[in-house]
Structure 1
Amino acid sequence: MEGDSPLLVKYERDRLLYTVYGLWDPVEIAKIISILERINSPYLLQYRNWRYQQPEYDDKKLFSKKLKSRGILTFESDLIPCTLDQFLQSEPNSILNGDKAMSIISQVWMALNSIRNVSDYIKVYSLHPSNIVISIIPGSNPPMYQIQLMNYIPLIFTQTFSLEQKMFISPSQLKILAKEGNGNNTDCKADLFTFALLITKLWTGKLPYSPKVTLRSLIENSIGQCIRFPEFKNPLVRRLVEMILLKNVSWDYTYEDEYLKLARKATFLEFRSKPEDFEIIESIGEGTSAVVYQAIQNTRRGERVVAIKEMLINGGEMEYIQNEVDIMALCQHPNVIQMYDSFVQLKSFIGSQKGNYAEIIIEFCDGGTLQSFFEKSYPVDPFPDYLMIHTLSEILKGLWYLHSEHHIVHRDLKPENILLKVDPNNPRIPLIKIADFGLSKIVENHQMMKSYVGTPVFMAPEVFNGVQYNYKCDLWSLGGLLYFLRTHTYPLSANRQRFIENIRHQVVPIYDDNVWKTIPGIKRIIKSLIVYNQDKRYSWRDIHNDPFVKQILEEDRVVRDYSKL
């Protein structure tokens, strides 16, 4: 290694090359790389082409654990046109407010929201303007700005932060760094704290600290002793910063904050797609209320393949469509379908029919639905063990995210509403996405529902009978879905009359040992989910404590807050 810097950056004509020297566990590095390869957000600088060369061992000193040289990690990214720090230097008094500040702040929020649930390795600890890329969208007049966060891997980048960049780190994280940690602890509010510091800097040109504050005083004193708010031109912005820094609000607060709601709405309208941006390839699905197309979208970053869910708006249907859009807009998770945009136009994409058509733009899943994959690949044979395990683990991750983070109850979980995406790194096992939120509902903590919605063959008995129910109705449906994949039969029959009789008499499904003997763990979970008494049905705590689930999720260290359900 030349010099003292742990990170070397080389500029080439069309890319940046990064070289990092350090001693890491290869398994840990592999985990980071696998997480980063799943990130796909326009608001994050994309790092790619990772290579890790392990340290060379000196045979004579092998047992003393001394290494001959450091490991070398290399990767690359696109070139950086301009940082927000450089952009601010061209602004009067290095301050942004009004529309520019609103657009940048809302995009930073969207970036933070998209990564906060990915992994503990992917967090933003310093939103110093030099850690934010800004570019002008080509052809926009007046100019529209788009941001991307960079340096969001604490294991690599926190050790390279300058003194000025560290002033944008929360005091709780500074304490970790002062003890030579990597800043990667369980403080989920660290990104919220640095977000408030950035907002203050953009609006006032200052940080919300007393003039004599140092890193040492931030570490040693209470935050109340260090805070001194500069003057804000907008009272809504000041309130947002005060709520974060003084009231210690959670991330959920940012969904309802008045200023952030205005900022997101303005930015969303600014970036909204237009019908002429799309070239329809073909129709790939049709239901009673929607048609789904595959299309090519021309975006400000080039072309991408998308799916378009098109619905004719009749009467009061807009309320349900808006509910679906609002729910999908909240969700950023690898196991939940991603919505890119939505808009209304006065005609269909295909045909000459006129009317109000709602268009929801979502990620294209080239593997089809779980139902079509099942029918094509396993029309007779049971779903194989490895796919049963994979399907269970991925749906559990997506459902837990929906239930715990946003209080979203899906209410129509079935194979047709699970989409598959081919994983280029492992074509044998598809990526799994929960989709179709047309019947979903956001509920408050511990709120019960009574609406009759869903598909009867996978519907929980409490929903069918119209009695009060909660998120556990999705867990029953998950059990029914898994039972169907393995047995080719529905847990309570496809015949409506027999289905009703089975619910009335609380008949339980048949579990043939020959079908389940190779996956007894999944059999136990299904039997614990298809339970008529909601109180005795597996809860999320029961699921996560199940030894088989612990084994397949491999998340023993994850701390979960079950009080949010």
Structure 2
Amino acid sequence: DCYEIQILIGTGSFGKVYKVKNKQTGEICAMKEIGYGQMKDKEKQLLVSEVNLMKRLKHPSIVRYIEKFQDKQRQIIYIVMEYCGAGDLQKYLKLQMQQRKYMSEEKVWSVFIQMLSAVDYCHFPPSDADLNGKVLNRDIKPANVFFTDSACIKLGDFGLSRQLSDDQLAQTNVGTPLYMAPELLNRQSYTEKVDIWSLGCILHEMCALSTPYTAANLDSLKIKVLANKRNSLPPQYSSKVKDTIDMMLQLDPTNRPSTQQLKELPWIDQMLRSVGENAEHIKSLPPLKQNLVVRNLKEDDLMQREQKLIQKELDIAGEEEMARLRCQQLGINYDLV
């Protein structure tokens, strides 16, 4: 009763996200409505973990948690968060692609530095942070990079995140295939360096308007990643961009730089110094308007549809891989299920 629902802004497998208004303060927020009645125990644990983690993450480039409340009778939990009213990076890149317009290098660095700042906070929490160890996001992708109306970047959706101690290796296979590090694709143990790979993929995509590795199915994607057959970057971007991507997309995770090593690169360090590493002062993208583009290019429409189909196939293949692994762990023959 504290919030007035204004519009539906998104849907997912377990719930919906609304733009809402706090009736007492007038603040505009985002409210995630999640039905947990049909969830398995593991999924409920992930939900609890996400809420508990969101409460503790406090950084200007991470979506701010406000509160949660629960309707036990209807088995629904409501999570109220900061509202990012200008869309997300995925939508922005689609607009750029439809307009056949590349991002300026200044904007690319602006978005990247804010993402880097958020991930660095997660990987190397400050001493005053209420975090017990490193936080791995494990699903960094353009759809989870949000824009505020003031054009600042906010990293959100920590549903697949987990905390690790410094000497711990994670072993669950999660993430979105096109942004998934090779150790995840190969179902190997991994560290926070999987997030570095994902950041590298996004940096590449902001420049090329396509992911570094594209394929029709998961097996083809694995082959391309392991062979390091990467799509090329447009020539207008500097060697600094290319060098940074090369560092982050190293197949061996031990060769990938940490967030702190990335921040020490001379060109990134200089940019951080110029803004005092304050995300609120970084010149960024203009607010997104969903009606900016009149879609009249059939070729672009077909390309978008093809990319969606490819992504769906990759998602299905990824889910199948996870199901096969679960069956193997339970001693069940997946092909007979």
What corresponds to 1:344 in structure 2? 70
CA contact (8 A) 1:412 1:453 kept: yes
Q: Give, in whole Å, the separation in 2 of the partners of 1:376 and 1:518.
A: 20
Q: How far, CA to CA, are the matches of 2:205 and 2:177 in structure 1?
A: 13
1:523 aligns with 2:242: yes
- Which residue number in structure 1 is paired with residue 148 of structure 2? 421
Among 451, 475, 496, the alignment partner of 2:172 is: 451
AA of the residue aligned to 2:196: L
Deviation per CA, 1:303-333, whole angstroms, max 9, x where unpaired? Answer: 2111011111023232111100011101111
CA distance in 1, matches of 2:23, 2:152: 25
1:399 aligns with 2:124: no
Paired residue for 1:500?
Answer: 222
The one-letter amino acid of 1:418's match is: V
The 5 Å alignment of 1:153-552 reads 276-299=1-24, 302-313=25-36, 314-316=39-41, 317-346=43-72, 355-379=74-98, 380-405=100-125, 406=131, 407-423=134-150, 430-496=151-217, 497-503=219-225, 505-512=226-233, 515-552=234-271
- TM-score between both structures, scaled by the size of structure 2: 0.74
3-state SS of paired residue (2:22) = strand
**How far 1:522 moved relative to its partner?**
1.7
Contact 2:29 2:82 in 1 (8 A): yes
- CA distance in 2 between counterparts of 1:542 and 1:453 reads 25
- The residue type equivalent to 2:79 in the other structure is I
Alpha-carbon shift at residue 555 of structure 1 (Å):
7.4
Cα distance in structure 2, aligned partners of 1:506 and 1:556: 38
Residues 343 and 516 of structure 1: CA distance in aligned 2, closer, same or farther (over 3 Å): farther
Alpha-carbon separation, structure 1, partners of 2:69 and 2:117: 30
CA distance in 2, matches of 1:305, 1:485: 29
> What residue identity is the alignment partner of 1:395?
M
Instruction: Name the SS of the counterpart of 2:212 in structure 1.
Output: coil
SS state at 1:392 partner: helix
Cα drift, residue 408 of structure 1: 0.8
Q: Is the contact between residue 550 and residue 556 of structure 1 (CA under 8 Å) also seen in structure 2? A: no
CA distance in 2, matches of 1:408, 1:339: 16
Does the 8 Å CA contact 1:446/1:470 hold for their aligned counterparts?
A: no
Distance between the aligned counterparts of 1:539 and 1:310, measured in 2?
35
- Once the two structures are overlaid, the 10-residue window that deviates more, 360-369 or 541-550, is 541-550
CA contact (8 A) 2:120 2:260 kept: no
1:490 & 1:320 partners in 2: Cα distance? 28
Secondary structure (helix, strand or coil) at the match of 2:257 reads coil
1:396 and 1:418 mapped to 2: Cα distance? 12
User: In the aligned structure 2, how far is the partner of 1:315 from the partner of 1:510?
Assistant: 39
Match of 1:554 among 273, 279, 291: 273
Which residue matches 1:350? none
SS in 1 for 2:253: coil
Cα offset, 1:477, TM superposition = 0.1
* Alpha-carbon displacement from aligned partner over 1:487-536 (angstroms, at most 9, x marks no partner): 12221214223202213x43241334xx1443321211111001101111
Q: 1:489 aligns to what SS in structure 2?
A: coil
- CA distance, structure 2, for counterparts of residue 557 and residue 392 of structure 1: 15
Gap runs ≥5 in structure 1:
1-275, 348-354, 424-429, 559-565
CA distance in 2, matches of 1:306, 1:483: 31
Given that 2:212 and 2:232 are in contact with CA atoms closer than 8 Å, whether structure 1 keeps it comes out as no
In structure 2, give the amino acid aligned to 1:311.
Answer: I
Give the residue type in structure 1 aligned to 2:50. Answer: E
Q: Give distance in 1, aligned partners of 2:260 and 2:18.
A: 39
Whether the 8 Å contact between 1:290 and 1:311 is mirrored in structure 2 is: yes
**Structure-1-length-normalised TM-score:** 0.45
SS of aligned partner of 1:554 = helix
Quick one: distance in 2 between partners of 1:409 and 1:400?
A: 10
Point out the structure with max Rg over C-alpha: 1
Residue 40 of structure 2 aligns to a residue in which SS?
coil
> In structure 1, what is the Cα distance between the partners aligned to 2:163 and 2:171?
13
TM-aligned CA deviation for residue 410 of structure 1: 0.3
Residues 67-78 of structure 1 mapped to structure 2, 5 A cutoff: none
Structure 2 counterpart of 1:307, one-letter code: A
Number of aligned residue pairs: 265
Displacement after TM superposition at 1:541 (Å): 4.0
Query: Secondary structure of the residue that 2:107 maps to in structure 1?
Result: helix
Distance 1:404 1:541 in 2: 8
SS for the counterpart of 1:528 is helix
Output the amino acid matched with 2:23.
Answer: N
**Identical columns (%):** 25
Q: Which amino acid aligns with 2:30?
A: A
Cα shift at 1:378 = 4.4
